């Protein structure tokens, strides 16, 4: 280990300090159960000892699959303090997806929710030869009851592990647009640096009651330390629904939450959107996928300037750009298409295909460098070299900067449609279509076409009570044609009940495209 004299605190330090700061104050509400800081701290200590008793310590590779329950957060802390390399499996993932991740990451320990995933754990035991330990949150016929094991230990003081900030702390699997999921390797330094930027820039209410509507094991975990450091409490939904959301905000006077855009659309389109009392909400964080400017405007008009946007990706998480609440300015409607200003704590540039900065005002690939950048992709040296070419992380997003320094994501580089030799960025067509008062959600993709190579197709979810008809198809097509030109106008529109989404709530265009490209020799 290098001389630690200049090392900043890592996540385990911040977790220990945050959990030690309070005692009887509430830390977590879930399903009527309230856990205090002391209870979460003691549970964390017992889980650390349980892991260590089974030889699960520094560097051990551990995966977790669970519903939302208090033990999930305590286990996140325990794994950090034990020095494990953690991987979260999405609760809705398939058996094949989970098995691929466990084998690719050489996972030796699976922690699972016994009430929901016992059968999956048993199936994975058969498919993953390297699994040594199966630990269940509760009684299980597969492996061992992790909670009963933990309760056999007396709580004791939490201690920092002997970890170098450059040691790997997690493998986060990201699907991308093609091929098998890639395991993003992040070190301990990255996670603590991300938290520092959150604490510096994000607008958390002074009295923090944080509603968690997403899986605790994923995006919600990124709020763990900021909430602890501010003495706040988590209010956790066991499953998202608009009614459940409104109930929680009203009952507990929630002051902050995080929603992915599709969740916000569901809330906006619900009858209670105009009647529920959301006056306690001071900050709604949103991110993970592009938001419709028209729908964002609708939300601001309904609930005020309470929205805060963040942008990042698994390879450089969450805090590359930020758009503050006051910057959601309806007098500057064009800004609602922005993802905010780049954080000063990272270097961001728009580069061309030769890794040169594009001229001011032109579009280029968003590339970053700094402590947030991943170590690379696990077991994928060629893709790592491509992603980190020229000493930059290439995000795959194409963006523009305006004169005020706000960044606008034009689209994913790989989502670009080439139709008749012209480049079409789906995001620009989606923003026009989502402004139609009949449209709840939209995804624009390229589909095979003998004449054009690729043709622009819009896949649309309509708002409740709206029916599809030829007049609406013509109206949407003409709106895009008028705003962006005939090249961008969809050649066809499909109306669907829902658009498939990725584990973090992004429209899953890979799945969407697959049905149209089936049997083709290519996918673009």
| In a shared domain, residues 145 and 178 | yes
Per the structure, the complete domain to which residue 436 belongs is given by 416-517
| In a shared domain, residues 299 and 447 | no
Q: Please report which confidence band the pLDDT of residue 523 belongs to, taking 50, 70 and 90 as the band edges.
A: very low
Residue of 208, 165, 205 whose CA lies nearest to 188: 165
| In a shared domain, residues 371 and 289 | no
The per-residue pLDDT for 421 is: 67
Q: Please report which confidence band the pLDDT of residue 176 belongs to, taking 50, 70 and 90 as the band edges.
A: very low
Q: Average model confidence (pLDDT) for the chain?
A: 92
DSSP letter for each residue of 394-449? EEEEEEEE-TTS-EEEEEEGGG-EEETTEEE-HHHHHHHHHTSTTEEEEEEEEEEE
Choose one of 296, 318, 343: the last residue of a domain. 343
| In a shared domain, residues 165 and 220 | no
Domain contains 195: no
286-319: per-residue pLDDT in tens?
Answer: 988 778 899 999 999 999 999 999 999 999 999 9
Domain contains 285: yes
What is the total residue count of the chain? 524
| In a shared domain, residues 335 and 238 | yes
Domain contains 196: no
| In a shared domain, residues 154 and 214 | no
| In a shared domain, residues 214 and 324 | yes
Residue corresponding to tokens 């390797």: 185
185-203: per-residue pLDDT in tens?
Answer: 999 999 999 999 999 999 9
Model confidence, pTM: 0.85
Choose one of 290, 314, 343: the last residue of a domain. 343
| In a shared domain, residues 11 and 141 | yes
- Whichever domain contains 252, its CATH number is 3.40.50.980
**Domain total in the chain:** 4
| In a shared domain, residues 240 and 305 | yes
Domain contains 194: no
The per-residue pLDDT for 179 is: 59
| In a shared domain, residues 377 and 452 | no
| In a shared domain, residues 466 and 448 | yes
d(CA 312, CA 317): 5
| In a shared domain, residues 133 and 234 | no
Domain contains 524: no
Collect all residues with Cβ–Cβ distance below 8 Å to 521 and sequence separation of at least 6.
none
Give the mean pLDDT of 111-120.
97
Choose one of 288, 320, 343: the last residue of a domain. 343
DSSP letter for each residue of 69-113? -HHHHHHHHHHHHHT-EEEEPPTT--HHHHHHHHHHTT--EEEEE
């Amino acid at each position: 280990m290098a001389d630690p004299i200049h090392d900043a605190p890592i996540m385990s330090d911040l977790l220990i300090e945050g959990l030690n700061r309070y005692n009887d104050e509430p830390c977590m509400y879930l399903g009527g159960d309230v856990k205090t800081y002391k209870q979460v701290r003691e549970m964390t200590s017992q889980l650390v000892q349980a892991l260590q008793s089974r030889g699960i310590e520094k560097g051990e590779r551990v995966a977790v699959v669970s519903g939302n329950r208090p033990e999930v957060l305590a286990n996140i802390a325990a794994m950090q303090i034990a020095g494990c390399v953690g991987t979260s499996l999405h609760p809705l993932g398939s058996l094949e997806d989970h098995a691929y991740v466990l084998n690719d990451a050489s996972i030796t320990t699976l922690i699972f929710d016994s009430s929901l995933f016992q059968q999956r754990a048993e199936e994975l035991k058969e498919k993953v030869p390297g699994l040594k330990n199966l630990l269940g949150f509760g009684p299980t016929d597969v492996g061992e009851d992790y909670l009963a094991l933990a309760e056999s230990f007396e709580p004791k003081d939490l201690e920092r592990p002997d970890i170098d900030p450059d040691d790997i702390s997690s493998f986060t699997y990201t699907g991308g647009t093609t091929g098998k999921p890639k395991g993003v390797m992040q070190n301990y330094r990255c996670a603590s640096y991300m938290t520092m930027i959150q604490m510096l820039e994000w607008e958390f209410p002074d009295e923090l009651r944080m509603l968690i509507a997403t899986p605790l094991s994923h995006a919600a975990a990124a709020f763990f330390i900021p909430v602890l450091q501010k003495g706040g409490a988590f209010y956790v939904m066991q499953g998202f629904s608009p009614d459940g959301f409104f109930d929680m905000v009203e009952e507990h006077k929630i002051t902050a939450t995080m929603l992915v855009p599709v969740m916000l659309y569901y809330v906006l389109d619900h009858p209670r959107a105009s009647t529920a009392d959301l006056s306690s909400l001071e900050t709604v964080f949103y991110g993970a996928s592009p938001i419709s400017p028209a729908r964002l405007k609708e939300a601001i008009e309904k609930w005020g300037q309470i929205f805060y946007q963040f942008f990042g990706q698994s390879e450089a998480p969450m805090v590359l750009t930020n758009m503050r609440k006051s910057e959601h300015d309806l007098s500057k409607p064009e800004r609602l298409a922005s993802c905010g200003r780049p954080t000063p704590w990272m270097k961001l540039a728009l580069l061309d295909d030769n890794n040169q900065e594009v001229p001011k005002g032109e579009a280029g690939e968003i590339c970053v460098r700094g402590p947030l950048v991943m170590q690379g992709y696990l077991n994928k040296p060629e893709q790592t070299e491509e992603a980190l070419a020229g000493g930059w992380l290439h995000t795959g997003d194409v963006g523009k900067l305006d004169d005020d320094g706000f960044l606008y994501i034009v689209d994913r580089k790989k989502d670009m449609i080439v139709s008749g030799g012209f480049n079409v960025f789906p995001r620009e067509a989606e923003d026009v279509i989502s402004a139609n008062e009949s449209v709840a959600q939209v995804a624009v993709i390229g589909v095979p076409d003998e004449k054009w190579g690729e043709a622009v197709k819009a896949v649309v979810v309509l708002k409740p009570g709206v029916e599809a008809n030829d007049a609406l198809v013509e109206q949407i097509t003409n709106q895009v044609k008028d705003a962006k030109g005939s090249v961008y106008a969809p050649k066809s529109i499909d109306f669907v009940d829902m658009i498939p989404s990725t584990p973090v709530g992004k429209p899953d265009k890979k799945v969407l495209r697959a049905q149209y490209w089936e049997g083709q020799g290519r996918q673009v």
